Homo-oligomer: A and B are copies of this chain.
Amino acid sequence: MTDLLLRNGRPWMPAQPLETADILIRAGRIERIGADLDAAGVETLDLDGALVLPGFVDTHCHLDKTLWSGPWVPNTGGRSLAGRIANGEGRRAELGIPNPDYSANLLAAMIAGGTSHVRSHIDIDPEVGLAGVEAVRAAAARHAGRVDVELVAFPQGGLISRPGTAELLDEALAGGVEVVGGIDPAGFDGDPAGQLNLLFGLAERHGAKIDIHLHDAGALGAWEFDLIIERTEATGLGGRVAISHAYAMGALPADDQRRIADRLTAAGVAMVTCAVGDAPVVPLRVMHAAGATLALGNDGIRDLWTPYGDGDMLRRISTVAFRDRLLADEEIELALAAGTMGGARVLGLSDHGLAVGARADLVTVEAPTPAAAVVGVPTRKLVLKGGCVVARDGQLAA
């Protein structure tokens, strides 16, 4: 916990004009934002007009699977979902994953890029058991104070269709994993009511949040949105449920998108989009207009599923904005908001952002405007976590 005075920054506070201001940090939190602040004896950093953004929130990644910093592994997963899952499981032992070194090195890259919070899905199945949870916890412990990591107990290989997995999810949640995950309750697992009832039951029992991978397209995916919304309302879990990917949403007609976004808002169900490959992106303008919560994530990074990715959330925010054809500055800022405050809402962080009282999890970049920062993906000058400088000029601080 640190006291620090940031001078001459330009904090990005949505709905306020971008003006030069100082930010006074006391005990790791923002105490004041204003012009010419006085704080005798407090260490001072001159930001020289840099833009100040809230820390990025990577709301969807897979730290346990990554091969980051290891040797190049050509992808052998083929093109079917089942084949890729089989490849992902089949080569784990050969390649020594989950590997806490790989996960920790990826976290280091994320921190250097300005990510302050991460939600990572962790594969759980009867073969790997809870090894991924242990590996990622070990990796996160090495970066304690530099990034906060929340885990999702994720049945990547199926839940109803994979005997023994439900018991492992239960064990993971009992052991403190914060979120229970699901995967295509219909299209992959084959028993939508069965999987969803199980997930909501586990969430209620353990006080866990819910985050469901939903790749199912078209009418099938849209129908599953309804199933999830209904159960969220029935259980009172509004504000604690997210649908990740939600590919169907981006491809539906605009009227359907608006209707679903309104229902998401009313029920307190969020969506998380990653702009993977050519998959549809959840439409940012529609979600914003409805007041629905949207967050962003990097998804898989250099793993057996995809050779792509680098963990840089600002680049992912840029990719999402580009894919969703956000053009005007205020549109582009929607992507920045999703990659910061949207993620904070999904994770349940009440004290994230550029506001008095918030934790001083901040990023500074040289850019004329927030939209220009999204477009240009400049090097992160400073990354602060709880008021401490944890990275500088794109490199982890010593």
- Cβ distance A281 to chain B, nearest Cβ, rounded Å: 7
Classify the interface of chain A: helix, strand, loop or mixed.
loop
Give the number of copies in the complex: 2
| Residue pair A328, B75 in contact (C-beta under 8 Å) | yes
Q: Interface residue count for A (Cβ, 8 Å)?
A: 32
Instruction: Find chain B residues with CB under 8 A from A76 CB.
Output: 328
Instruction: Find chain B residues with CB under 8 A from A310 CB.
Output: 376
Instruction: Find chain B residues with CB under 8 A from A281 CB.
Output: 278
Give per-residue flags for A75-86: 1 if the beta carbon is below 8 A from chain B beta carbons, else 0. Answer: 111010000000
Give per-residue flags for A302-338: 1 if the beta carbon is below 8 A from chain B beta carbons, else 0. Answer: 1000111010000000100111110111001000000
Of residues A72, A302, A307, which shows the largest number of chain B Cβ atoms within 10 Å of its Cβ?
Answer: A307
| A277 sits at the interface (CB 8 A) | yes
Give per-residue flags for A248-261: 1 if the beta carbon is below 8 A from chain B beta carbons, else 0. Answer: 00000000000000
> Which of A30-38, A166-174, A264-272, A366-374 binds B?
A366-374
| Residue pair A307, B332 in contact (C-beta under 8 Å) | yes
- Cβ distance A14 to chain B, nearest Cβ, rounded Å: 16
- Cβ distance A189 to chain B, nearest Cβ, rounded Å: 23
Task: Tell me which of B71, B306, B332, B375 contacts A368 (CB under 8 A).
Answer: B71
Task: Tell me which of B72, B277, B327 contacts A372 (CB under 8 A).
Answer: B72
| Residue pair A327, B278 in contact (C-beta under 8 Å) | no
In chain A, positions 67-117 with a C-beta closer than 8 Å to chain B are 71-72, 74-77, 79
| Residue pair B277, A308 in contact (C-beta under 8 Å) | no
Inter-chain CA distance A79–B371, complex, in Å, is: 18
Task: Tell me which of B302, B323, B375 contacts A278 (CB under 8 A).
Answer: B323
| Residue pair B325, A368 in contact (C-beta under 8 Å) | no
Instruction: Find chain B residues with CB under 8 A from A277 CB.
Output: 322-325
When C-beta atoms are compared, the residue in chain B nearest to A327 turns out to be B75
Of residues A71, A76, A308, which shows the largest number of chain B Cβ atoms within 10 Å of its Cβ?
Answer: A308
Instruction: Find chain B residues with CB under 8 A from A71 CB.
Output: 368
Task: Tell me which of B77, B79, B321, B371 contacts A74 (CB under 8 A).
Answer: B371
In chain A, positions 270-318 with a C-beta closer than 8 Å to chain B are 277-278, 280-281, 302, 306-308, 310, 318
Task: Tell me which of B72, B306, B368, B371 contacts A327 (CB under 8 A).
Answer: B306
| Residue pair B74, A329 in contact (C-beta under 8 Å) | yes
Instruction: Find chain B residues with CB under 8 A from A280 CB.
Output: 278
When C-beta atoms are compared, the residue in chain B nearest to A76 turns out to be B328
Instruction: Find chain B residues with CB under 8 A from A306 CB.
Output: 327
Inter-chain CA distance A76–B306, complex, in Å, is: 36
| Residue pair B322, A75 in contact (C-beta under 8 Å) | no
Task: Tell me which of B74, B332, B372 contacts A328 (CB under 8 A).
Answer: B74
Pick the 3 closest A-B CB pairs, nearest first: A277-B325, A72-B368, A74-B329
Q: A308-B322, A308-B375 are in contact. List 6 more A-B contacts (CB 8 A).
A: A72-B369, A75-B328, A79-B325, A79-B327, A307-B372, A307-B375
